[in-house]
Structure 1
Amino acid sequence: MISDPDVVGLLYLVAIVCFVVSLRFLSSPKHARRGNWVGGLGMVIAIATTLALDGISNWGLIAAGGVIGAIVGVVGARTVKMTAMPQMVALFNGVGGGAAALIALSEFHVAVEGSLAGDEIVSIVLSALIGSISFSGSLVAFAKLQELMSGRPIVFSGQNLFNSAILLGAAALGVALVAGVDTEWALIALIALALLFGVMFVLPIGGADMPVVISLLNAFTGLAASATGFVLDSTVLIVAGALVGAAGTLLTLLMAKAMNRSVANVVFGAFGQVQAGAGAARVDDGRTVRATTPEDVAVQLSFARKVIIVPGYGLAVAQAQHDVRQLAELLEEKGIDVAYAIHPVAGRMPGHMNVLLAEANVPYDQLKEMDEINPEFPQTDVALVIGANDVVNPAARSDPASPIYGMPILDVDKSASVIVMKRSMAPGFAGIDNELFLDPTTTMLFGNAKDSIVKLIAAVKAT
């Protein structure tokens, strides 16, 4: 057992340094794996140090919880497909928030009446409130991502007013607890209202905004964990939670900026409701959609000098990342320059496309962010769009009436030729038509992305 506070402080400092270094490594796909290892090492040090403190008991319960958690973590990490990683992140994030709320309830339950100091009760209230919102909100995000419920915004008249009333009720209970109301039922009622608010908070948020809401809920969990650190008088938990909260907040702001929208608009805007006529191609200006075949696309690709592949959620759904890499390697063998254009909010979570392609062993130097790749489109012979929709819609630049107007997009329409691989003409997460599909330089290759790419590979080999 460790009884020297200096030794404990030093070990916790090492763990904190590991967390900071981990975040630094995680900022780049090239070093992300190393970042995970460093972060994991920091967590092992923090847990081992905590278990070695004087006064730790209930070893049977601790061991049982550790075994259950390890089994769930290992099974999840080994069996969940990379395409389902956003759902897993949402679920694990929710578990963290739920744990913070349960600890707050437990500490309040075991405290002797009137023994909690002012800062302790404030920490308990914040931990219970924020952790419960994160828990239930993350479960709804998981259900939307897993398609257990509609990914479109679910709204009703007076929803914002109803949500405000729930949040004010929870806040009023929190103020009462801080003011001295020493009844456990008040805290339970606060948690119940916070759980309800978490559900209602995420329901009106559509699939297009899932990257932002995941980051925001991640920040909530970090704040709840930090508040729990004050409850437990744990410096390492305070710092770790603050790091998660800060990182999640910054990522949320960056995601919102990438869509040229405010966080308030993301949360309250019910963005992504299908607009009238969104599922049909407009022909009022005489333009029509032109379909193509794998054989024709293979000819275009084989005789191109530069090809840019634009991955989107359709690629993830079809689990076609390995086939895309094989196609790119075939083109490179023909002397063709191949790169991948990554939009910040492509997919269902920040970095979704990077993780997906890295899992298929696509070279890191071929993954180019939007600002880096956009100047290359005018010199590109073929832009191959696989399952992306809103992030390549020119209406974001040209149509002030469009709900995505002003959102930075990938400039694929500036390429000499655009091939869009899509299952149908259904709208994307934003629920609007895509002007790119009607562009004279664009042709559509309809079908499942994986099947279409397999056919493309065979056709390229035969060209």
Structure 2
Amino acid sequence: MEFGFTTAAYVVAAVLFILSLGGLSGQESAKRAVWYGIVGMGLAVAATLIGPGAGLWWLSIPLIAAGGFIGYQLASKVEMTQMPELVAGMHALVGLAAVFVGFNAHFEIGNAAEALAAGGDAVKELGAFGKLIAKKSAVEINILLVELSLGVWIGAVTFTGSVIAYGKLSGKVTSSAEKLPGGHMLNAGAAAISVICLIWYLNTAAFLPLIILTIAALFIGYHLIMGIGGADMPVVVSMLNSYSGWAAAAIGFSLGNDLLIVVGALVGSSGAILSYIMCKAMNRSFVSVILGGFGGGSDGPAMEIDGEQIAIDADGVAAALDEADSVVIIPGYGMAVAQAQQNVAELTRRLRAKGKNVRFAIHPVAGRLPGHMNVLLAEAKVPYDIVLEMDEINDDFPETDVAIVIGSNDIVNPAAQEDPNSPIAGMPVLECWKAKQVFVSKRGQGTGYSGIENPLFFKENTRMFYGDAKQSLDTLLTMIQ
């Protein structure tokens, strides 16, 4: 009876997770999709707690309550600008959980083997998972060891990779691509050690090869992500999301948990598809990015930039906007840092009230997380129909009177088209420099998160609107009524 209920609950939960993923593809359905996911996860946890093999309620309930409390506190206090690193942190926890579950499964297999050797009451004293293992054939045990090893390996890669991604996104680790002496050969060596340890483990079922395999995987995760530059971090976050899903699926096979397999496969496949889409949008090689930049980039010198950055004040920007008929606003991470989305929305409302055509241009990797800018604009109640993707609006820039760039760098960098030696060479960008006038809201003359110089700031039709984006827009709004 319990087994039937658990199976039915898992099926319903899986359907809810699929509906959740599908709903997240649209801005209007996203809120409902989140609730599908919440209900699905609640149902899955409840079904697992009362299903076959459940036990240790006195420990499970406090741990779930503690985890829920910590999650609530984080969600309540984290700023939208910190969401990318929070997501990376969550991926790290999933990876670490996969490692611990894999280790536990290893010990359960050992206990089952000892109980079978002892016979009698020893088998009866095994837990539900141990009894399940005791019924497996030698071939099935070997398959289980492979699944366990894969779960641990992927989980370890995900853990250290996500920790480094968190560090890069939060500014605690350099955003530039860095590798140890030996570069990709070290990754290849660690991968070879992992394969050798897997063979060793399958032949002995000893804990030592599993530990060495885990250490090699931890190194691979660290070194791979250290070798990826800041411009590719949105892809990295999505890629690590995929890794965490595959780790969960592998552990699901080890535990014989159908829902964990389904959910892991959903997360893994959707993350991989999103990573591929973003790589395509950035003209990046998917294989190059996931291998820490292997085979990508140019070693030649960057193109020299002529000219100077010319500043403009709020009066000048207000005058240009007053004369403009069409305006395109390009938001970036700087807008999120300054929490300027409400000011941007108010500027949009005032300009549209004057009869001006105002639209937003969103690059697929704007910010440091896919969809980051869309969420901020939705939070500020900017109408969905004027928020356009890069492919929808790029051809309109030559007919645009004013383009306003707020805290963006790489996604509006003409070096992607003009400099074959640029780290972002070939990456599709928003061609805002083709507008009649370009105003760039920026704190100072720095190169931004990825450390790449931007020729846009030196072009004749570009003016730099220096200062904190929120404060600059506050001043501008006093002049536009």
TM-score of the aligned structures, taking structure 1 as reference length: 0.93
Which segment drifts farther, 97-106 or 430-439? 430-439
Q: Structure 1: which amino acid aligns with 2:53?
A: G
Q: Would you identify which runs of 4 or more consecutive aligned residues in structure 1 move more than 6 Å?
A: 270-278
| Cα distance change, pair 272–311 in 1 and its aligned pair in 2 (3 A) | farther
5 Å-filtered alignment, 1:440-451, equals 440-451=460-471
Is 1:404 equivalent to 2:439 in the alignment? no
2:287 aligned residue? 264
Asked whether the equivalents of residues 275 and 431 of structure 1 are also in contact (C-alpha less than 8 Å), the reply is: no
Which segment drifts farther, 231-240 or 325-334? 325-334
1:246 aligned residue? 269
Q: Deviations over 1:265-302 (max 9, x none)?
A: 32433889999789xx833xxx3322111110011112
| Cα distance change, pair 54–268 in 1 and its aligned pair in 2 (3 A) | closer
Q: Structure 2: which amino acid aligns with 1:109?
A: F
Is 1:204 equivalent to 2:227 in the alignment? yes
Q: Structure 2: which amino acid aligns with 1:262?
A: S
Question: Could you tell me which of 9, 16, 19 is aligned with 2:17?
Answer: 19
- The CA distance in 1 between the partners of 2:347 and 2:398, in whole Å, is 22
Asked whether the equivalents of residues 3 and 52 of structure 2 are also in contact (C-alpha less than 8 Å), the reply is: no
Q: Structure 2: which amino acid aligns with 1:211?
A: P
1:216 aligned residue? 239
2:218 aligned residue? 195
Is 1:282 equivalent to 2:280 in the alignment? no
| Deviation for aligned residue 1:348 | 0.6
Is 1:369 equivalent to 2:389 in the alignment? yes
Q: Structure 2: which amino acid aligns with 1:79?
A: K
- The CA distance in 1 between the partners of 2:368 and 2:426, in whole Å, is 21
Q: Structure 2: which amino acid aligns with 1:96?
A: V
1:78 aligned residue? 76
1:330 aligned residue? 350
1:352 aligned residue? 372
Asked whether the equivalents of residues 175 and 450 of structure 2 are also in contact (C-alpha less than 8 Å), the reply is: no
Asked whether the equivalents of residues 442 and 466 of structure 2 are also in contact (C-alpha less than 8 Å), the reply is: yes
SS in 2 for 1:460: coil
- The CA distance in 1 between the partners of 2:62 and 2:324, in whole Å, is 59
Q: Structure 2: which amino acid aligns with 1:3?
A: E
Larger radius of gyration: 2
Question: Could you tell me which of 269, 274, 297 is aligned with 2:317?
Answer: 297
| Cα distance change, pair 56–347 in 1 and its aligned pair in 2 (3 A) | same
- The CA distance in 1 between the partners of 2:190 and 2:431, in whole Å, is 43
Asked whether the equivalents of residues 153 and 272 of structure 1 are also in contact (C-alpha less than 8 Å), the reply is: no
Asked whether the equivalents of residues 256 and 263 of structure 1 are also in contact (C-alpha less than 8 Å), the reply is: yes
5 Å-filtered alignment, 1:38-437, equals 38-111=36-109, 112=111, 114=113, 117-178=141-202, 180-266=203-289, 267-269=291-293, 282-283=305-306, 287-437=307-457
- The CA distance in 2 between the partners of 1:192 and 1:401, in whole Å, is 36
2:6 aligned residue? 8
Q: Structure 2: which amino acid aligns with 1:191?
A: T
Q: Structure 2: which amino acid aligns with 1:384?
A: I
User: What percentage of residue pairs aligned between the two structures are identical?
Assistant: 41
| Cα distance change, pair 4–191 in 1 and its aligned pair in 2 (3 A) | closer
| Deviation for aligned residue 1:103 | 0.4
- The CA distance in 2 between the partners of 1:316 and 1:277, in whole Å, is 29
- The CA distance in 1 between the partners of 2:381 and 2:333, in whole Å, is 18
Asked whether the equivalents of residues 321 and 357 of structure 1 are also in contact (C-alpha less than 8 Å), the reply is: yes
Which segment drifts farther, 90-99 or 398-407? 398-407
- The CA distance in 2 between the partners of 1:291 and 1:391, in whole Å, is 21
| Deviation for aligned residue 1:430 | 4.5
Which segment drifts farther, 180-189 or 265-274? 265-274
What's the RMSD between the two structures over aligned residues? 2.1
Gaps of 5+ in 1: none
Q: Structure 2: which amino acid aligns with 1:308?
A: V
Alignment length (residue pairs): 453
Q: Deviations over 1:87-109 (max 9, x none)?
A: 11110111111111110101111
- The CA distance in 2 between the partners of 1:242 and 1:276, in whole Å, is 43
SS in 1 for 2:441: strand
Q: Deviations over 1:200-244 (max 9, x none)?
A: 121121211111111111111100100111111111110110000
- The CA distance in 2 between the partners of 1:303 and 1:274, in whole Å, is 45
- The CA distance in 2 between the partners of 1:369 and 1:337, in whole Å, is 16
Gaps of 5+ in 2: 114-133
- The CA distance in 2 between the partners of 1:128 and 1:445, in whole Å, is 50
SS in 2 for 1:290: coil
- The CA distance in 1 between the partners of 2:446 and 2:327, in whole Å, is 26
Q: Deviations over 1:123-146 (max 9, x none)?
A: 110010001110111011111111
SS in 2 for 1:383: strand
| Deviation for aligned residue 1:395 | 2.5
- The CA distance in 2 between the partners of 1:366 and 1:66, in whole Å, is 42
